[in-house]
Structure 1
Amino acid sequence: MCGVAGILAGGLDGSSRERAICSMVSTLNHRGPDGWGIYCGVEMALGHTRLSIVDLQGGHQPMMSDRYVISYNGEIYNHIELRGDLEKKGVVFSTTSDTEVALKAFEVYGAEAFSLFNGQFAMLIWDRREKELVVARDRYGIRPLYVLEHEGGWYFSSEIKAFDTLSGYRRTMDMQALFEHALLWNTMGDSTVYNKIRSVSAGTYERFTTQGRASVHRYYEIGESCGVSPATLEEAGEALEELLLDSVRLRLRSDVPVGAYLSGGIDSSVITHLTSLWNRDRFKTFSVAFEDAEFDESFFQKEMVSRINSDHLALEVGYRHIDEHFLDAVYHFERPVFRTAGVPLFMLSEKVRENGIKVVLTGEGADEILCGYDSFKELKLLEFWGRDPASKMRPLLIKKLYPHLRHYSNPRQYGLMKMYYEGFLKEYDNELSGLNIRAGNNRILSNYFHKDYPLTFEKDRLIETARQVVPDNFSTWTLLQKNQFMEMKTLLSGYLLSSQGDRMSLAHGVEGRYPFLDHRVVEALFYFKDRFKLRGFSQKYLLGKTYGHHLPDAIINRPKKPYTAPDLKSFFHGGGLSEQAAHFLSEDVVREYGVFDETMVGRLVAKFNRGMPAEVGYRDNMLITFILSCQMTHHWARNPKKDPLDPAAMTVRIDDR
């Protein structure tokens, strides 16, 4: 993986633009520590930091042909097949890199090339003849790409922090967008939590001229194909096996060793199993083990390691580790988060890199495409209960929603649970789908924002926003398909792939690859019958049935449990709030940053300074983590890091002025 940056037009002269692009690139060094390069033209500057994975000697960027220049972050997994097709058309290659394949494919096919790529990418392609910039992003937004309009120019980057280097610019939050993010765990569409900064939407490409953005085009959307479900569960399993095996095969293409993350759940276990089928050598696997038994899954990890005989490294993480690394992790998150789960992955990627691995396969994406989230179960319950709202038997299924949460099976809690879910019986089937419940849980945050911001929970406004992003055929889908779409558009692309995927691995120069997010896998499973994916409350049913005989029984038979890390406990260890957290949640700093009401934050902190209860609920964990990470996000916006480039690491300098 790499980092990309670009500057189009603006009021900068040539030397100023070159200094600006170098400053932007310097903030992306962690994404590509193996070298950096720049292209400087009359109107356009491109920058690149490289993580060398394919064609270690010949794939340096920016890369230029007679007409085009490319700065590209990502991998085109089918580059070998595309190269063969292009060679049949007379195209001659000078490297074996997938970067040159992407460049030559664009030369031959134009923007239609993006639909031919099986991969994860963010691209900046400058047309030197037509003076036009094309920016493109992969189908599911796996790799980030941001745009800022500033002082008459357009700036592009893999990460928002690059904009902090620009003269006359200071990052500020859009409070309405921040509140939307607070409710949904992400902003909808192409907006971000920052003023003037937006994200290029997944599955789209945009054209820019020296006058500004000229057009936006969508080349892909989830569920727009005409898929057909296999008739039987056995046929569905065979189709899944074939697709996923080939997806792993493609994602093992690399000129450097490839490892894998192993959490102890079924998703990563399936990926490591498939990796072992293609990889005859003993390969490296990595996992997180927690000191707190409530979060630790090392037993299941060891079971799988014994099965595949991998060279395994487990990183043990405690409360203090999460507290100590949270500020640095937030620097890479670039936004507020709702749980600390990304911090152990931030720490793990450092160990992965220290062990000589640059590429890891992971299990992200399985929950979205195989109905693994709790939101799918909740929707199924509401749909079933909603057919007979007066039933006394149907709501009893609430007790079976979460086997790993004791209070759900507690008879004394049932009345409150029933009352809570009953409130969604008439509003679960709108455009928000499962996000209705997420927003309902998080609306309490409106009480903590500063009173100068009139932020209120407006369900109708959120629904209208959702209507702008759903496709025309959305109403024809099943309820679970609708939720698949919304989870991929919000939680996956804008949150998980950022706070637990791209940002945490590339913080230490490690590329994550996600076999479940091969578009062939996603498109096929989107149309599989709902009952293949969610049988009763049995999540990812097809995955367990298909791979059950390949995995240890302990993993197949364990109740579904999401990957989590200690949240609130990480900041209140030792009998009170930790020193770092106390600073950012102090009355003075809360008042200085001006986002939250210092009285409300003070009450929340005091509640736990008096002692930690035996069990901490979702709401308290979320409140502390969100508010603290938001404070730290403000800190980094006000105090950007300065990372000078190493001149000796420059691999490309193209002067086209």
Structure 2
Amino acid sequence: MCGIAGWVDYDRDLTRDGETARAMTRTMALRGPDAEGLWIESHVALGHRRLAVIDLEGGAQPMSEGPVTLVYSGETYNFRELRRELESHGHRFRTRSDTEVVLRAYLRWGADLVEHLNGMYAFALWDRRTEELLLVRDRMGIKPLYYAPTRHGVLFGSEPKAILANPLFGPRLRDEGLFELLTTAKTPGHAVFDGMYEVEPGHVVRVSRDGLTDRRYWALTAREHTDGIPRTVRRVRELLEDIVARQLISDVPLCTLLSGGLDSSALTALADRALGIGTVRSFAVDFTDEGGGFVPDAVRDTPDTPYVHDVAKHVGSHHTDVVLGSESLASPEAVESVLRARDLPGGGDMDTSLYLLFAEIRRHSTVALSGESADEIFGGYRWFHDPAAVAAEAFPWLRGLGGTMDLVDRDLDRRAGAYLTERYHEAIDEVPRLPGEDGAERRMREICHLHLTRMVRLLLDRKDRMSMAVGLEVRVPFCDHRLVEYVFNTPWAYKTYDGREKSLLRGATSDLLPESVVRRRKSPYPATQDPGYERAVRERLSGILADPNAPVRPYLDEKAARAVLRRPIGRASLQQNRTAMERIVGLNDWLTAYRPEHI
């Protein structure tokens, strides 16, 4: 998997700046605990930290061939087919790694190599013939890549911390960066810090002496869907079987993340079938509970554990429950680790539980398959099926998610709301459409597109940071662009043909699953219901209100915050009250640690 960092400066001899380049690279140590590499030429420094997954001996980086040097993060799942094709064109390989395949693909096809890749990746490639740097990101944005233009070049890295480690860049925050932190819709390319950007999914950024150019090589398009429902279901199954088989390639121990929902259960069953019955390992998160057992809330009807155990028994997986208590979820060590992993405010127990789950998994496996993104692709969230959410001229998930906005200053709330409305209309303008789509079908295409280009990126970022912070590679089969393209263009009636959510996925995989999971209603990633955790969050918010120097205070509606603290601790209010408190506390932690200048 790995982490990359680098620096291009056409007006500076970077061979004299090795320590700075090394410091940038070492910020990626958690992403790549197995090895470090640094390559410097007069105007370019490329750094790499490696998590060895394929070709443990031969995949060292930076990797050079002729005039080209590459630092690469991710996996190219079709590298074996590409290798055979490149060999037919006369290329001879020194390693078994997918990194060398990507390098030689560039030598064959130039920047058009991106058209040939299937995978999750972010990489930087320097061509000394033209003195140009390419920054490339996968189609769905599974792997991160940030950059900051400088006067004479660019700084880049897998995470903001690599750029922040260079003295040329200081943390600054404009209002729109603050709005990005307060809202739940990720603007493509926006990196919160002023002057820093993300390479957008499906884009190539080219850096030369003439400056930077940005080219999009992939986007969702509207195509007529001509398959009937039975053929569509079969095609989804065919794609999933091929995708899972590709993503099981690994030279290190591999497992699945299992929640007992349709998505992760289907992947676990498919992986077990591909590996051999009773071979796959699976892991699930669960929580201790001081409060007397699970209570249904606004978004979760049932606890995960009974369904997890049904699947594990049904497929015969070697299963482990990772049980977390409120003490560990609220521990300063876990909170600090999440903050430093994200370089952004943490998301409360949803982040710390994921981090702690991954830390435990890493003791046994280096690679995990996750069901992330199936809800965005197949229409799983409840608000997809809520007429009011669908009709609203707003991001539909805002009806289902609590947020920071409940506790921020009213004027800031108003301005952030206006910013969010503007971003929503920009997103709607991007949606591809077919001629003649009726109102309902057109609207559901818009809803699906919003999820696949905005919401899913929030979740993929969280998954990447929490997993790579412990050196775990998490693969997301549902983000294979072939599946995304195919399902995006199926009519909404197909996605709900059995009268329920995610009909196509259920129809494609129900033969692999226990009946309990086939019947189960969508339940999102779990949150602890232990009142001990909420008490810990309340104590931290009380501390902020008692501290006149707390950096979040200028942004806080203190009256609203005190009112929330007066409310009794109760599970019914978990979604709104606790989420709002968690995010204010997280924002305060971030402002304290990173000290951005608000300009």
Aligned position for 2:356: 347
Aligned position for 2:450: 486
Aligned position for 2:329: 322
Equivalent runs, 1:21-420 vs 2, <5 Å: 21-150=21-150, 152-167=152-167, 169-183=169-183, 185-213=184-212, 215-224=213-222, 226=223, 228-232=225-229, 234-280=230-276, 282-292=279-289, 293-294=293-294, 296-324=303-331, 325-336=334-345, 338=347, 340-355=349-364, 357-378=365-386, 381-382=387-388
Matching residue within 423, 436, 450 for 1:462: 423
- Counterpart contact for 2:267–2:369, Cα < 8 Å: yes
Q: 1:174 to 1:597 in 2, by over 3 A?
A: same
Q: What's the CA shift for 1:16?
A: 4.3
What fraction of aligned residue pairs are identical, expressed as a percent? 27
SS at match of 1:349: helix
CA distance in structure 1 between the partners assigned to 2:396 and 2:498 by the alignment: 17
Q: What's the CA shift for 1:21?
A: 1.4
Question: What is the aligned residue count?
Answer: 579
Amino acid at match of 2:385: K
SS at match of 1:156: strand
1:483-504 Cα offsets, whole Å, 9 max, x none, are 11111211111x10111x1111
1:496 aligns with 2:496: no
Amino acid at match of 2:243: S
CA distance in structure 2 between the partners assigned to 1:278 and 1:290 by the alignment: 31
Q: What's the CA shift for 1:529?
A: 2.4
- Counterpart contact for 1:360–1:513, Cα < 8 Å: yes
- Counterpart contact for 1:7–1:17, Cα < 8 Å: no
CA distance in structure 2 between the partners assigned to 1:157 and 1:601 by the alignment: 39
SS at match of 1:31: coil
SS at match of 2:141: coil
Equivalent runs, 1:508-657 vs 2, <5 Å: 508-535=470-497, 538-566=500-528, 569=531, 571-573=533-535, 577-578=538-539, 582-584=542-544, 586-590=546-550, 592-593=551-552, 595-597=554-556, 599-600=558-559, 602-604=561-563, 606-608=565-567, 611-638=568-595
1:290-314 Cα offsets, whole Å, 9 max, x none, are 2244374111111111112122111
- Counterpart contact for 1:34–1:51, Cα < 8 Å: yes
Q: What's the CA shift for 1:433?
A: 5.5
- Give RMSD over aligned pairs: 2.7
CA distance in structure 1 between the partners assigned to 2:541 and 2:413 by the alignment: 24
- Counterpart contact for 1:435–1:486, Cα < 8 Å: no
CA distance in structure 2 between the partners assigned to 1:128 and 1:474 by the alignment: 46
SS at match of 2:362: helix
CA distance in structure 2 between the partners assigned to 1:492 and 1:135 by the alignment: 22
CA distance in structure 2 between the partners assigned to 1:371 and 1:558 by the alignment: 15
CA distance in structure 2 between the partners assigned to 1:475 and 1:124 by the alignment: 42
CA distance in structure 2 between the partners assigned to 1:44 and 1:263 by the alignment: 45
Q: What's the CA shift for 1:17?
A: 2.7
- Counterpart contact for 1:71–1:123, Cα < 8 Å: yes
Q: 1:551 to 1:638 in 2, by over 3 A?
A: same
CA distance in structure 2 between the partners assigned to 1:474 and 1:502 by the alignment: 37
- Counterpart contact for 1:433–1:482, Cα < 8 Å: no
Higher alpha-carbon deviation: 203-212 or 104-113:
203-212
CA distance in structure 1 between the partners assigned to 2:395 and 2:185 by the alignment: 15
CA distance in structure 2 between the partners assigned to 1:248 and 1:614 by the alignment: 38
- Which structure has more relative contact order (CA 8 Å, sep 6+)? It is 1
Equivalent runs, 1:426-445 vs 2, <5 Å: 427-428=392-393, 434=396, 437=399, 444-445=405-406
Q: What's the CA shift for 1:317?
A: 1.4
- Counterpart contact for 1:376–1:483, Cα < 8 Å: yes
Gap runs ≥5 in structure 2:
295-299
Q: What's the CA shift for 1:31?
A: 0.5
- Counterpart contact for 1:505–1:511, Cα < 8 Å: yes
TM-score, scaled relative to structure 1 = 0.82
Aligned position for 2:297: none
CA distance in structure 2 between the partners assigned to 1:25 and 1:299 by the alignment: 44
- Counterpart contact for 1:176–1:455, Cα < 8 Å: no
Higher alpha-carbon deviation: 11-20 or 501-510:
11-20
Q: What's the CA shift for 1:602?
A: 4.5
Amino acid at match of 1:186: A
CA distance in structure 2 between the partners assigned to 1:567 and 1:334 by the alignment: 27
SS at match of 1:49: strand
- Counterpart contact for 1:583–1:589, Cα < 8 Å: no
SS at match of 2:573: coil
Amino acid at match of 2:201: A
CA distance in structure 2 between the partners assigned to 1:99 and 1:520 by the alignment: 22
Q: What's the CA shift for 1:193?
A: 1.8
1:31-71 Cα offsets, whole Å, 9 max, x none, are 01010101101111100000101111111111011111100
Q: 1:239 to 1:595 in 2, by over 3 A?
A: farther
Aligned position for 1:402: none
- Counterpart contact for 2:375–2:502, Cα < 8 Å: yes
- Counterpart contact for 1:22–1:47, Cα < 8 Å: yes
Q: What's the CA shift for 1:205?
A: 0.4
- Counterpart contact for 2:224–2:434, Cα < 8 Å: no
CA distance in structure 2 between the partners assigned to 1:443 and 1:350 by the alignment: 28
TM-score, scaled relative to structure 2 = 0.90
Amino acid at match of 1:309: G
Q: 1:21 to 1:454 in 2, by over 3 A?
A: farther
Aligned position for 1:392: none
- Counterpart contact for 1:63–1:70, Cα < 8 Å: yes
Q: What's the CA shift for 1:340?
A: 2.8
1:437-494 Cα offsets, whole Å, 9 max, x none, are 579x75944x61486898352265234432564457699563222211111211111x
1:63-113 Cα offsets, whole Å, 9 max, x none, are 011111100101000000000011111111111110000010011111221
1:313-345 Cα offsets, whole Å, 9 max, x none, are 111012222111233212212223555322212
